[in-house]
């Protein structure tokens, strides 16, 4: 059986005030084309379909359009689970009716957590969809005493679902979780604090393949066949070097797996640029429409820095000025200021903020400004 593994679409995402619906639609069109080109037999979406529990109308319409194309045009089943960003009740609405059309949606834990059997030429493949759920909810809904933390909840749900799988059958686990050893990104919402949300990858050892969601970088988690597909797009600037895409998984009759990662081409890339403003403005700009974060090395004040940068990069989202926020030590004792004049006070303040002393030229300029200020004050007092 050949199936595609994707996750973390985050439909409805807003990136520094910019709605990404058109960007998401652009790559989802490529996903539909990929399904047709590789003749996939199923699609797995491992959670975080939406970016928030009450998604905007545009996000719901986009999901409806994409799933309709896959089910009616590509004619393959789709299995998707709720992630920690989704509302399990909203996502799972009408799931029993939808399952008759080949759309299997598992929103929340319960006694309905049964394996989904899909047939290929050699027999059935059992998919075990395990949605994200807080341990307390798993304990309450399924009356599983072991669900005291994320590790126990995941183990209990996997055991419950596996009970309905025949011995020796081919199995694929689908889960939305933080598996220990995975690399996190800025754009992910923590599942808990202090590392208590992490689960050990050993839980997925019995499965021929595990399709994970939650972490936004495409990566393995404790083994080559326990994998995160990664997010649909880059959702933070620390993901600038990530390669987003889709996992194409081939599972043969004996349960052996071969894997191929296919990259998607975003409408706009996410990039980080660092340098002096003059060099950035004069450099050759290959992808000026990308979403950009600029780190400026300039230490001097710059008037309307965002306006200047947007003449070259219209989609500048954020500017950092580390030279203005680092270097000095404001906790350093200021000393006795009572005997210091205005120029000395400013020099001490400048040294504390920047970690450097005023240059001769800067000192002379400051003295000139103070002389002019005092002259204007004397004339005003008359």
Hey, which of 56-65, 237-246, 286-295 has the most confident mean pLDDT? 56-65
63/124 same-domain check: yes
Confidence of residue 331 (pLDDT cuts 50, 70, 90): low
Q: What is the mean pLDDT of residues 59-70?
A: 96
185/318 same-domain check: no
Q: Are 115 and 99 in contact (CB under 8 A)?
A: no
Q: Are 23 and 268 in contact (CB under 8 A)?
A: yes
Q: What is the mean pLDDT of residues 163-189?
A: 88
Q: Answer whether residue 51 is part of any domain.
A: yes
51/157 same-domain check: yes
Q: Given this model, what pLDDT does residue 249 score?
A: 97
31/162 same-domain check: yes
282/241 same-domain check: no
Q: Answer whether residue 253 is part of any domain.
A: yes
Q: Answer whether residue 192 is part of any domain.
A: yes
Token representation of residue 66: 């994409």
Q: Answer whether residue 53 is part of any domain.
A: yes
Among candidate residues 65, 177, 150, 46, the one with its CA nearest the CA of residue 105:
46
193/238 same-domain check: yes
Average pLDDT, the chain: 89
- Final residue before a domain boundary, out of 263, 281, 313: 263
Q: Answer whether residue 113 is part of any domain.
A: yes
Q: Answer whether residue 336 is part of any domain.
A: no
Q: Answer whether residue 337 is part of any domain.
A: no
- Final residue before a domain boundary, out of 217, 246, 263: 263
187/149 same-domain check: yes
Confidence of residue 194 (pLDDT cuts 50, 70, 90): very low
167/295 same-domain check: no
Q: Given this model, what pLDDT does residue 192 score?
A: 57
- What CATH number did the domain enclosing 30 receive? 3.60.21.10
Q: Is the pLDDT of residue 154 over 60?
A: yes
Q: What is the mean pLDDT of residues 284-291?
A: 84
362/241 same-domain check: no
Domain total for the chain?
A: 3
Q: Is the pLDDT of residue 334 over 70?
A: no
Q: What is the mean pLDDT of residues 327-353?
A: 70
Q: List, as one string, the DSSP characters of 93-149.
A: TTHHHHHTTTEEEE-S-STT--PEEEEETTEEEEEEEE----HHHHHHHH--TT-SS
Q: Is 37 exposed, middle or buried (0-12, 13-18, 19+ CB in 10 A)?
A: exposed
Which own/partner pairs from 192-196 qualify as long-range (CB within 8 Å, at least 24 positions apart)? 192/150, 196/149, 196/150
Q: Are 161 and 114 in contact (CB under 8 A)?
A: yes
Model pLDDT for residues 13-25, shown as the tens digit of each residue: 999 999 999 999 9
Q: Could you give the CA distance from residue 320 to residue 300 in angstroms, rounded to a whole number?
A: 13
Q: What backbone phi and psi angles, to 5 degrees, belong to 231? A: -75, 160
Q: Answer whether residue 334 is part of any domain.
A: no
Q: Are strands 219-220 and 226-228 parallel, antiparallel or unpaired?
A: antiparallel
Residues 6+ apart with CB under 8 A from 129: 79, 80, 81, 104, 106, 113, 116, 161, 174
78/12 same-domain check: yes
280/352 same-domain check: no
Confidence of residue 148 (pLDDT cuts 50, 70, 90): confident
Residue 70: domain span: 2-263
Question: What b/e sequence results for 319-337 when a residue is b if at least 16 CB atoms lie within 10 Å of its CB, and e otherwise?
Answer: eebeeeeeeeeeeeeeeee
255/280 same-domain check: no
Q: Could you give the CA distance from residue 278 to residue 302 in angstroms, rounded to a whole number?
A: 11
Comparing 352 with 7, the larger pLDDT belongs to 7
Q: Is the pLDDT of residue 124 over 80?
A: yes
pLDDT > 90 fraction of the chain, expressed in percent and rounded: 62
């Amino acid at each position: 059986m050949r199936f595609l593994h994707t996750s973390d679409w985050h439909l409805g995402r807003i990136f520094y005030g910019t709605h990404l619906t058109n960007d998401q639609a652009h790559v989802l069109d490529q996903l539909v084309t990929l399904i047709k080109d590789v003749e996939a037999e199923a699609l797995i979406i491992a959670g975080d379909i939406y970016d928030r529990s009450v998604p905007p109308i545009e996000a719901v319409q986009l999901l409806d359009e994409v799933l309709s194309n896959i089910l009616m045009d590509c004619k393959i089943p789709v299995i998707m689970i709720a992630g920690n960003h989704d509302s399990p009740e909203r996502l799972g609405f009408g799931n029993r009716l939808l399952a008759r059309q080949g759309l299997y949606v598992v929103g929340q834990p319960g006694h309905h957590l049964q394996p989904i059997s899909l047939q290929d030429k050699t027999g059935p493949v059992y998919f075990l969809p395990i949605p994200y759920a807080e341990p307390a909810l798993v304990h309450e809904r399924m009356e599983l005493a072991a669900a005291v933390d994320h590790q126990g909840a995941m183990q209990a749900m996997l055991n419950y679902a596996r009970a309905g799988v025949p011995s020796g059958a081919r199995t694929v686990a689908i889960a939305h979780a933080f598996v220990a050893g995975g690399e996190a990104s800025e754009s992910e919402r923590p599942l808990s604090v202090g590392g208590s949300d992490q689960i050990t990858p050993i839980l997925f050892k019995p499965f021929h393949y595990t399709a994970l969601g939650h972490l936004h970088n495409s990566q393995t988690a404790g083994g080559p066949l326990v994998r995160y597909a990664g997010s649909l797009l880059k959702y933070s600037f620390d993901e600038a070097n990530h390669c987003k895409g889709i996992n194409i998984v081939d599972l043969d009759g004996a349960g052996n797996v071969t894997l191929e990662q296919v990259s998607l081409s975003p409408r706009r890339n996410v990039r980080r640029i660092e340098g002096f403003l003059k060099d950035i403005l004069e450099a050759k700009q290959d992808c000026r429409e990308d979403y950009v974060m600029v780190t400026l090395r300039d230490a001097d004040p710059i008037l309307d820095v965002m306006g200047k940068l947007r003449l070259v990069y219209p989609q500048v989202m954020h500017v950092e000025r580390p030279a203005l926020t680092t270097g000095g030590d404001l906790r350093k004792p200021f000393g006795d200021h009572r005997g210091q004049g205005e120029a000395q006070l400013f020099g001490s303040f400048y040294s504390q903020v920047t970690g450097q002393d005023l240059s001769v030229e800067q000192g002379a300029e400051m003295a000139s400004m103070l002389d002019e200020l005092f002259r204007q004050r004397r004339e005003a007092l008359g």
